[in-house]
Structure 1
Amino acid sequence: MKNDIHDLGLVLDSRVRLVVIESWEELRVLEAIATLAIKRSQTWYTWNQVEGLQRLGFGPALDAEGDLSDPEAALEHVRRQREPALYVFCDLHPFMHSSKLVRLLKMIAMEPAEQAPTLLLVSHELALPAELRRLAARIHLSMPSDEQLAAIIREEAARWTERNQGRRVRTDSRTLEQVVRNLRGVTHEEARLLARKLIVDDGAITQEDLPVLNRAKFSLLDMQGVLSFEQDTARFAEVGGLARFKRWLADRQAAFSGADSADVPRGVLLAGVQGSGKSLAARAVAGLWGLPLLRLDFAALYNKYIGETEKNLREALAMADAMAPCVLWIDEIEKGVAEDGSDNGVSRRVQGTLLTWMAERRSRVFLVATANDVMQLPPELIRKGRLDELFFVDLPQAAVREDIFRIHLASRGFAVDRFDLPSLAAASEGFSGAEIEQAVVAAVYSAAARQEDVINEHVLEALNETSPLSVVMAERIQSLRSWARERAVMAD
């Protein structure tokens, strides 16, 4: 709060007459303004459409005629004042379409007299018309620090203890640190609400609460599907093959998590054949490193309104920075950054925003991007410095196919030793991991229809009835594999 008051004081000292404060914490904003007004012995007034214009604190009484719940009448009153008072207008954004209202704001902002009021516009979001942007100053409230988040959790725990006959909230230091880390990026009041939800049910903060916390947080932040929290982070034991990629990650885990590491790993691009396990590997990175997994959806990112797509991307990347350390997964990245001459330059601007963030970020966000058609990607995206390495996930070899069969059969409760894995691996030459899984699923359906137990022959039959992508799209797959042979590191 002290920093927010200090920043607001500096803006007022610069004699800017129009100040925009975007925040979800209206009460906290009003508290900061009240503290500053009292400190400076300034009169201050507030306006909203329900209560109209009201004087708060000390100073001359409000002397005005007309309906001051009308925003234009209230602004006309402010424009005529000749005292250095603060006028705080809450939620003026629905009225910004009025040309008269915009003109009144401009006249207040351009007032040259030293004894003139200062207008502060407070809203969760406020886009100023072009004619006002250079006349206004913007202030953003600071987000709570880790120490403040921990203090909020302790305060909510103490309140729970008071209401429950002195019983103490159960937790441990490791879980508490993770909760604090996962609360980054929310406001003070949002952090208090989320902490209260964690505690109120059973008086405990445990590891089982972390997924609930992250789902509640992303629901609260309302990223409109652009950025989502992925709960299902796979274990690498569930990923067949990729031995070289696994070793690469293991070698860099300490450097990423170490507080004193100067060269923090930045990310990887996983290119390869469709269904080869790239998305599963991306999930497994978060599982291996024990980090939250965020998924950026380019399909939800694009908006028909000019500028909204880039804004959505900036907000999503800022959220990822706030969640650090974490893993950010961009699936099928080529669909979002490949240039398209028919989109009025949106894809080019999105590409520029993403490239700038990748090059300049200082947060511990490990980027895992996957691509089916790597040749559509711009070369500046995959250069070293923005990403650490380009891995190619090829069709699995025989030994890896055996592992994949073992994983999918065991996950469905079958005794793996009842199956001839070498024969299944031989029969699935050219199959991707996804196609192998679907063959197992088809065998389960077939056996159930015949009221039989699933055996080796059911799986072989499903394989024989399947035409893998390596056959259907043979030329395209071979071209992709030839491209990667000399340009990428084989993940297996």
Structure 2
Amino acid sequence: MSNYAESLHHLDSYISARVPVIGMHTIEQQRALNLLREAAAQPRRSSMPFWIYSRATGLRDLRTNSPVQDDRSLTGAMDFAASQFNGRANATVVLVDPDHLEGDSPVTRHIAELARLADRNMGSIVLITDSPIWSGLQRLGMSLHLDLPDADEMYQILSRFLADHRGHIPIEWDEDDARRAAEFLRGVTEAECINLMATIAAKKAIKKADVVGLAQAKDRIFSDLTGLERVQLRESDYTVGGLTSLRAWLRRKHQLMHADLRGLELRPPRGVLLVGVPGCGKSLSAKAIAHEWQLPLYRLDMGSIHGKYLGESEGRFREALAMADRVAPCVLWIDEIEKGLAGRDDGTGVPQRIIGQFLFWLQESQSRAFVVATANDVRSLPPELLRKGRFDELFFVDLPDGQDRKEIIDLYYRRYLRSSPDETQLDQLVDLSEGFAGSDIESALHEVGAEAFLNGGADNLKPSFLPDTFANTVPMSRVNPEQIEEIRAWGRERAVPAGRSSAGAAPGAAQPVRRILFMDD
């Protein structure tokens, strides 16, 4: 059953049992009202009165929407309910989003007294709210949570919308397109879904490309999110040099990310953990994936979730992950994840609880939020995070080999010097950049590009300026060789290489055992 059908079943049971307090938790008031009207419309309840109160409309008959009294205050509605519960059986009063339900207050005390009065004469009070209900009141009855539409229910909403517009505007979608769109729209309300589709239909056509476009349109609904930072991509973020194996793996996962997986025991791709040498393209990969997959990119700052009060950090982290589920499909970038999970042995227990929350979410979430987590200090990562099944794959990003350096040099040469290097010059720069990370290459070519701009063009530079710049660049692999070699030794043995091969092994040296990624043609 969909969430709506399941909620209707529970609500119907509670009304039939004449439960004195029925708490309906939802952020979609209209959807909850539709649920109530459907339950009240049952033929066996034709003689049972239903009234509804809201601040905007006052007290009205639920079925006919006709006003009951002129007093539009909550107090007036509760006085009316008291008189009905005293004078007749099987009366039901619905209160929409009354204030001060969270704690012990005069309002909750008053509603609790009404519930006891209703219980004596087979009456019911229904509370529609998106806030918690005071435990002293909630214990007098039952509660149900009306979640957002699931994929099947969203498909029904889309099907009705398409049927209403078919014949009026060209519609290229078939059933598979509607199913994919329903998956993309998980996490939005029914009203938001209709608004998004109406925006597309306003262009006088619904085309195949609009299915993927829904991800960007949905992103505009969640422009200000707690715990997540929306990353706006620049054109320079779209291309990554090297990392051949990683890029091939991602192309295959892209098919699953957009596929209709209904009826299969498959779930969308969960994500990838990138560990390795600093400056070799781990963070840039997250941006390139978001661009290539045409998905919004959100950054979860692990450092910002920590608070000074008990339970604050866990609450912020839980809220951020829940929001990631809502904005999906998206790419969720967690940069330097080891910093947020450090301190596993501290006395507060906060890191352990955050790790537990994150592992549970990775294991159980069915949303299309693809996690790209990066780490430099792999020794700080908890072992349980590295277990197979948490992330789809663990890749080690090593220093680029000669072929990858050639690709990276060509990329940044074109970007900063607005021309292509000749083959002889390119080979020379590849030799000079031995031991360079991608960021070292970019830094050197940026310096050359800046000098060319100041001198009126690259033709005005000394022929030796470019190779001298590379020769005088000191990469991190030479500044801190012990730390870099320790990182590389760890990655060669424990992770799939993100590039063509592990760079830097001595000729003829025995290669350590590692996992090999086989790609079908």
TM bucket normalised to smaller: 0.7 to 0.9
Residues in 2 aligned to 1:237 and 1:90: alpha-carbon distance in whole angstroms: 48
Match of 1:113, SS? helix
- The structural deviation recorded for 1:319 is 5.7
Match of 2:414, SS? helix
In the other structure, the counterpart of 1:191 is 193
TM-score, normalization: structure 1? 0.80
- The structural deviation recorded for 1:241 is 2.5
Residues in 2 aligned to 1:59 and 1:194: alpha-carbon distance in whole angstroms: 29
Residues in 1 aligned to 2:100 and 2:458: alpha-carbon distance in whole angstroms: 65
In the other structure, the counterpart of 2:443 is 438
- Pick aligned residue for 2:11 from 8, 28, 39: 8
- The structural deviation recorded for 1:339 is 3.7
Matched, 1:120 2:132: no
The one-letter code sitting in structure 2 at the alignment partner of 1:196 is A
- The structural deviation recorded for 1:7 is 3.2
Task: Report if the CA contact (8 A) 2:240-2:284 is conserved.
Answer: yes
Q: Among the aligned pairs, what percent are the same residue? A: 32
Residues in 2 aligned to 1:463 and 1:72: alpha-carbon distance in whole angstroms: 78
In the other structure, the counterpart of 1:271 is 275
> What does 1:271-310 align with in structure 2 at a 5 Å threshold?
271-285=275-289, 290=293, 292=295, 294-299=297-302, 301=305, 310=314
* Alignment deviations for residues 317-356 of structure 1 (CA, whole Å, 9 cap, x no partner): 4565567776544332223333467895444333222111
Residues in 1 aligned to 2:328 and 2:281: alpha-carbon distance in whole angstroms: 25
Residues in 1 aligned to 2:35 and 2:148: alpha-carbon distance in whole angstroms: 12
* Alignment deviations for residues 445-479 of structure 1 (CA, whole Å, 9 cap, x no partner): 21111212266755445445644333444443333
Match of 1:270, SS? strand
Task: Report if the CA contact (8 A) 2:359-2:385 is conserved.
Answer: yes
* Alignment deviations for residues 398-437 of structure 1 (CA, whole Å, 9 cap, x no partner): 3221110112223453223277122222333333212322
Alpha-carbon spacing, 1:171–1:68, altered in 2? closer, same or farther (3 Å):
closer
Matched, 1:154 2:162: yes
Residues in 2 aligned to 1:153 and 1:58: alpha-carbon distance in whole angstroms: 26
The gaps in structure 2 that reach 5 residues or longer are 500-521
- The structural deviation recorded for 1:186 is 1.6
Residues in 2 aligned to 1:149 and 1:98: alpha-carbon distance in whole angstroms: 39
Q: Give the number of aligned pairs.
A: 479
In the other structure, the counterpart of 2:220 is 219
Task: Report if the CA contact (8 A) 2:299-2:333 is conserved.
Answer: yes
- The structural deviation recorded for 1:296 is 4.7
Residues in 2 aligned to 1:206 and 1:402: alpha-carbon distance in whole angstroms: 38
* Alignment deviations for residues 84-123 of structure 1 (CA, whole Å, 9 cap, x no partner): 3222222324564662223234444566835243222223
* Alignment deviations for residues 39-74 of structure 1 (CA, whole Å, 9 cap, x no partner): 22332222233444444447999689xx661x4564
Match of 1:430, SS? coil
Residues in 2 aligned to 1:72 and 1:98: alpha-carbon distance in whole angstroms: 17
Alpha-carbon spacing, 1:375–1:38, altered in 2? closer, same or farther (3 Å):
same
In the other structure, the counterpart of 1:396 is 400
Return 436-445 or 174-183, whichever deviates more: 174-183
The one-letter code sitting in structure 1 at the alignment partner of 2:36 is I
Task: Report if the CA contact (8 A) 1:279-1:370 is conserved.
Answer: yes
Match of 2:125, SS? strand
In the other structure, the counterpart of 1:479 is 486
Residues in 1 aligned to 2:20 and 2:251: alpha-carbon distance in whole angstroms: 55
TM-score, normalization: structure 2? 0.76
- Pick aligned residue for 1:205 from 199, 204, 207: 207
> What does 1:61-210 align with in structure 2 at a 5 Å threshold?
69=73, 71=74, 74-75=77-78, 78=81, 81-82=85-86, 83-93=89-99, 96=102, 99-109=105-115, 113-123=119-129, 125-132=130-137, 134-135=139-140, 136-141=142-147, 143=149, 145=152, 146-155=154-163, 157-158=165-166, 162=168, 168-169=169-170, 171=172, 173=174, 178-201=180-203, 203-205=205-207, 207=209, 210=212
The one-letter code sitting in structure 2 at the alignment partner of 1:490 is P
Match of 1:190, SS? helix
Alpha-carbon spacing, 1:266–1:56, altered in 2? closer, same or farther (3 Å):
closer
The one-letter code sitting in structure 1 at the alignment partner of 2:457 is E
Residues in 2 aligned to 1:258 and 1:113: alpha-carbon distance in whole angstroms: 48
Alpha-carbon spacing, 1:482–1:322, altered in 2? closer, same or farther (3 Å):
same
- Pick aligned residue for 1:416 from 418, 421, 424: 421
Alpha-carbon spacing, 1:305–1:127, altered in 2? closer, same or farther (3 Å):
farther
